[in-house]
């Protein structure tokens, strides 16, 4: 997430980080700065899903995650909270983000829009446009 001072705040996502999964979820369900901040506050993620919080009346764990709920290492695995990685600027994020976050793709929430970098043969940021409930 681009911050007001130009720094980038980012977390690691372990599973299914490709645009057809993570990109679709980010672009479809994490559309406001508040919601993106809540996602980042969870720290590093095992998997991302449309819902941030599990139903407190049902089990949600590493062994038995609830359907459509994001799985966070700290909250759901009981691991130490790893705070977001802060990159000093967008260029540093582009150059070093994949290595520091162990990521194939980089995502950036900037000015209310999602962008992805790392799509084969495209060396620039591509805007993610996801419309929920619309089929072609």
Read off the pLDDT of residues 61-95 as tens digits, 9 standing for 90 and up. 888 999 999 999 999 999 999 999 999 999 999 99
Whether the per-residue pLDDT at 136 is higher than 60: the answer is: no
Angle at the Cα of 75 (from 86 to 26), degrees rounded to 5?
55
Whether 43 is in a domain gets the answer: yes
Whether the per-residue pLDDT at 116 is higher than 80: the answer is: yes
Are 87 and 93 in contact by the 8 Å Cβ rule? The answer is yes
Q: What domain range is 72 assigned to?
A: 8-128
Whether 133 is in a domain gets the answer: no
Whether 136 is in a domain gets the answer: no
User: Which of 26, 50, 45, 52 has its CA nearest to residue 113?
Assistant: 26
Whether 135 is in a domain gets the answer: no
Whether 123 is in a domain gets the answer: yes
Q: Grade residue 3 by pLDDT with cuts at 50, 70 and 90.
A: very high
Whether 90 is in a domain gets the answer: yes
pLDDT for residue 135: 59
pLDDT for residue 62: 85
- Report how far residue 43's alpha carbon sits from residue 13's, in angstroms, rounded to the nearest whole number: 9
**Domain count for the chain:** 1
Read off the pLDDT of residues 87-115 as tens digits, 9 standing for 90 and up. 999 999 999 999 999 999 999 999 999 99
Whether 134 is in a domain gets the answer: no
Whether 1 is in a domain gets the answer: no
């Amino acid at each position: 997430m681009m911050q007001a001072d130009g720094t980038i705040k980012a977390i690691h996502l372990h599973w299914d980080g490709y645009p057809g999964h993570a990109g679709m979820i980010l672009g479809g369900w994490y559309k406001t700065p508040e919601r993106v901040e809540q996602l980042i506050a969870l720290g590093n993620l095992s998997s991302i899903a449309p819902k941030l919080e599990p139903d407190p009346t049902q089990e949600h764990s590493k062994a038995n995650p609830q359907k459509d709920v994001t799985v966070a290492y700290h909250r759901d695995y009981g691991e130490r909270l790893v705070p977001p990685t802060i990159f000093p600027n967008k260029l540093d994020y582009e150059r070093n983000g994949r290595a520091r976050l162990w990521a194939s793709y980089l995502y950036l929430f900037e000015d209310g829009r999602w962008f992805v970098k790392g799509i084969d043969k495209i060396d620039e940021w591509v805007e993610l446009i996801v419309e929920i409930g619309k089929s072609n």
